[in-house]
């Protein structure tokens, strides 16, 4: 009996170790993630970073948005990490149409006008979640 108990524990531990931690729920599959990486004109200016993030958060409640996160870069000594940017935003949306609607939304365009003077460079990435 003890032998079976040990085997059961070993199987459970193995499952826990090997199971993927970032598994998408059925409702999250085929969603779109929009990633925006931003280099500011005044990279060391904390007030400018906060102004960008404050304006950016005005988009949190647009239609089609599931999750929306924004924040500042984390400095890294790892060669693979690009920490040259200042702030970033990730938005998970319901589908491709929701991304199109998000980008065309008047509130999105209004926020872009307000943050554009703060920005030196922007790179965006869009991908489908599988």
Q: What is the 3-state secondary structure (H, E, C) of 22-68?
A: CCCCCCCCCCEEEEEEEEECCCCCHHHHHHHHHHHHHHCCCCCEEEE
More confident residue, 72 or 22: 72
Residues 52 and 62: their CA atoms lie apart, in Å, by 18
Q: What are the structural domains of the chain?
A: 28-128 (3.30.70.100)
Q: pLDDT at position 26, please?
A: 57
Residues 104 and 38: their CA atoms lie apart, in Å, by 20
pTM over 0.85, yes/no: no
Stretch 3-21: mean pLDDT: 45
Q: pLDDT at position 10, please?
A: 42
First vs last C-alpha separation in the chain: 42
What percent of the chain is helix, strand and coil (3-state, nearest 5)?
Answer: 40, 25, 35
How many other CB atoms are there within 10 angstroms of residue 88's CB atom? 17
CA dihedral over 96, 101, 107, 112, signed as positive or negative: positive
Q: pLDDT at position 13, please?
A: 46
Given a cut of 80, is residue 130 above it in pLDDT?
A: yes
Q: pLDDT at position 3, please?
A: 53
More confident residue, 3 or 60: 60
* Furthest C-alpha separation in the chain: 71
What's the angle, vertex CA 53, arms to CA 50 and CA 58, rounded to 5?
130
Q: pLDDT at position 8, please?
A: 45
Percent of the chain past pLDDT 70, that is, above it, reads 78
The model's pLDDT over 64-111, given as tens digits with 9 standing for 90+, comes to 999 999 999 999 999 999 999 999 999 999 999 999 999 999 999 999
């Amino acid at each position: 009996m003890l032998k079976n108990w040990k085997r059961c524990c070993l199987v459970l531990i193995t499952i826990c170790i090997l199971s993927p931690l970032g598994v998408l729920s059925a409702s999250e599959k085929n969603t779109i993630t929009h990633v925006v990486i931003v280099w500011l004109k005044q990279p060391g200016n904390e007030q400018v970073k906060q102004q960008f993030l404050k304006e950016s958060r005005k988009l949190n409640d647009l239609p089609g948005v599931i999750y929306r996160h924004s924040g500042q870069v984390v400095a890294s000594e790892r060669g693979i990490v690009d920490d040259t940017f200042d702030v970033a935003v990730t938005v998970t949306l319901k589908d491709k149409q929701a991304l199109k609607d998000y980008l065309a939304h008047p509130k999105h365009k209004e926020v872009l006008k307000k943050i554009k003077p703060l920005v030196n460079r922007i790179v965006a990435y869009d991908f489908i979640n599988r």
